[in-house]
Structure 1
Amino acid sequence: MQHIAEIMSGRDSFVEKCSLVLDVLIDLVPADLLTLRRPGPDGNSMELVSYASRPGFGYVPPELVTDPNLISYQAYCEDTIKFLNNYAEVPEAFSGFVEIGDQSSAFLPLISRGNPLGLIYIISKERDHFTPERVQLLSTIKDGLGVLFENADLNDKISEELSQRRQTQSALAESEARFRALAESAADILWEMDLDGTYTYCSPNVRGVTGYGPEELTGRSHYEFMPADEAERVRDAFSILAGSGGDISLMEYIFIARDGRNLTMERNGAAVLKENKELTGYRGIDRDITGRIAAEENLRETSRLASIGVLAAGVAHEINNPLTSVMLYSEQVLLEEIPDNIRKNVETVNHQALRMSRIVKSLLDFARYSKPESRETNIALMLHRAIELKSYDLDLKKVTVNDERIPVNPEDSPLALLDENQIIQVVLNLLNNAEHASLVGDQPPQVSVGITVSDGQVTIGVEDNGPGIPDDVLPKIFDPFFTTKEIGQGTGLGLSVSQGIVRNHDGEIWARNLPEGGAGFYFKLPIIPRKSRAPVPPDGPVRP
């Protein structure tokens, strides 16, 4: 996304930027064909902006799409994301795509602030190409591209108008009328200010972004709405620009909103000149990029965590070799006649080596990529495996785990058809959150894990004895990139990804505050019948 953002903020034309972005995406997705369309001039069609394809693919998209029966046209009109992993079998499939070997297709409408900007559709000759991981990636890319395309398109329009204003006085008057009309409808803030940095005009939508009305900003210096050190930095930069008459390009600064939040704004502007070329001020556009900055930071953090996972898997491989030697030689020593005190020490070494071996195996199984595949899984064994994978970190931080509600005998556990690695990822995400929450406050940290069974479904619960979840935060916890942790402590993706995994298993996930304090996270999955299984008791510390 960082590379794409750099392309969209460059000086190429909008169409050239789109072509460069598609060239990046065709390898990132990956895909055989990527096509970008935007609304046609008549409003009842989609015109081609750009496309990218693999060498030898042999298909050139038409310039205009007008058939309302096409899946791509319906996805755009209905603002509906479609992922079809069996495209050739869909009755509405376009015969031209089927003939060239299209097996999987994705249709992604580009929307920003409720406005339709266009449609990206993706073709792959691979059946079942759009795995949950790729769907997650494309959903993130889609949301980011909607904002980036809107930003690039709007900035191109503004740059063109500002350039025209500098040419002649007559062109200035005409452009000013268009400028003010755009200010009334644009999603971003349009402004004018004098050389002292005092606002002489702000568009009405400034209220929705900052909480201040245009009448509250006009006549006041923009430095009043910045932190002291930020005001000093911007003042120095503004003085240099004003001294040279240069344009303002992609200047980022902090604006303190009415509610006290620090907004990261991106500013573009051009010098306002009299007929004698005397500089009188600046005119331009501000965009709130607080969300984009947070999303980019979270994507970088996610990439960093993925790299750490690969590194950890490599380290686990390296540990396996000497660990095998430790287990082998300790077992050989135990077969010999040795003093009891030495035998006890060797047994401890062998026991801990076996425990390390199980942890390494769990880490390798979890880190190794595999195509999502549902199979019969013992819920209790799966939960014990997840807890063991997390046990070292919990022991290190002295967090007690109560797993009494997990059957000890595997024969007493429910079975389910699921992708074990993915569900373990969900459990680990919940254990991580429970661990962090339980460490807040003076109480001894404790996490409870258990299951209940009813109506053909198993409910898996992870509870903590932390401070609970604030009422205003609870509705947002499954939103992508939402986190209450400090910067660098969380990506805000764990619960969102977990929700996607659970839903893909025909389940549901939710959270609640516990009456005695703390919070509980629960997810429910369908189970399969099993003969001669003792029922799991319905009552206990884990409550759905």
Structure 2
Amino acid sequence: MSPNRPSRPENILALAGAGADGDLSDSQESVWQEVVKRVDEVYSDLLRYESDLEAKNAELEEAQSFISSVIASVSDILAVCDAEGRIVQANPAFVTLLGRSEAKLIGAPLPDVIVEDDRAVARQFLYAGAPAGDCELRFSTASGPTDVMAINFSSRFDHTGRCVGAVLTGRPIGELRRAYQALHTAHLDLQHAQKKLIEQEKMASLGRLVAGVAHELNNPISFVYGNVHVLERYRKNLSNYFVEAEKLEDSAAAALRTKYRIDPILADLTPLIEGTLEGAHRISEIVKNLRRLSFNRAHEAQKIDVERIVAVAAQWAARSKKNQARICVDVESGLTLWGNEGQIHQIVVNLIDNALDAVRGRADACVTVRAREKSGGDVEIVVEDNGGGIAESAFDKMFEPFFTTKTVGEGTGLGLWISYSIAREHGGDISAANRPEGGAAFTLRLPVGG
């Protein structure tokens, strides 16, 4: 029997107040039998209630043990405060963080364990009636302030719905911030490296074009120098003529004119000078085209003559290759767009350059460049070749940096990637497809702009 369990009365007669001889009247005996019955029922109920109470107490202890084990296993800090902000419960993570025993924490005001500069922030959420919310706090320990922690305050209510305190949970975010900072630094470094690679590819592209440009420069310079030397000889003849003509009579002037071929010289001076001017003009145009490859003014937009830029790009790309592919240019007359001329020139040169590589070795090698204005306000420049086409495995990778199908030393794998990036910066794009009749087609789409 439980020590607190009520004992059942055994001497009913004593309770009934029987006489000395123990006899009861019939009415008294009936009353007390009813009393005994009621006592037995109450006693049974007490035994049942006690058993239920013991079972519920065991369930409560089990639930309390489960909750305590869960709180103890949580890696985030957790603290429960009363309406005045005093700590009434703390989990092991919070105890370990502060380096104090749980006994010293219980009853201590929560602001006392927070770094002084952060206490004002905590007080906004801590006391009864304060709103729930998130903040960042540092806690004071014997070794100094902790890392910044992301803290959540939630209001705590009793069974009547009255706010009786707050619950604090949190985790450190210092490591996360450092990781984000490292990621940001790595991203900046990657952007810097990307810009350097782009500039290197631009210089490499310029170097490939210099071979063709040098040939183009040599021709006009050669006939400019040749014409200048001829003009110098003519000048000497004319000088001698006029010097001697002054010493002779008019009758001898005709003979001298014939001797020094004055008339043919004078007739030849005009085409010589025109040829010299033409050569100088060609040199000027070549220099201008070289200047257009300057990418220092990346954000400067200007009106671009598509017909001219395609023609120049085709000439430059052709001169940088040794193959004798036929290049056909078909550009809609008067077609213009707005953008950075040097960058658009770079895209077209890269696309034609790749097309010429694709038809290398073919007897009927042909590259076609077409440009039209499409409905919707876009300019479409299509570069087609009759080469072997694009492998299916290359479609998903062709615009990625360093991907190339060329042999080692022939390509860096950056041309299409740079071209695609420039097109995207101008609000357009580049797509590729295989032609039904063979070969590949690259389509550059750019908004007219302006």
Q: TM-score range by the shorter chain?
A: 0.3 to 0.5
Q: Highest CA radius of gyration, 1 or 2? A: 2
Which structure has the highest strand share of the two? 1
Which structure has the highest helix share of the two? 2
Q: TM-score, normalised by structure 2?
A: 0.45
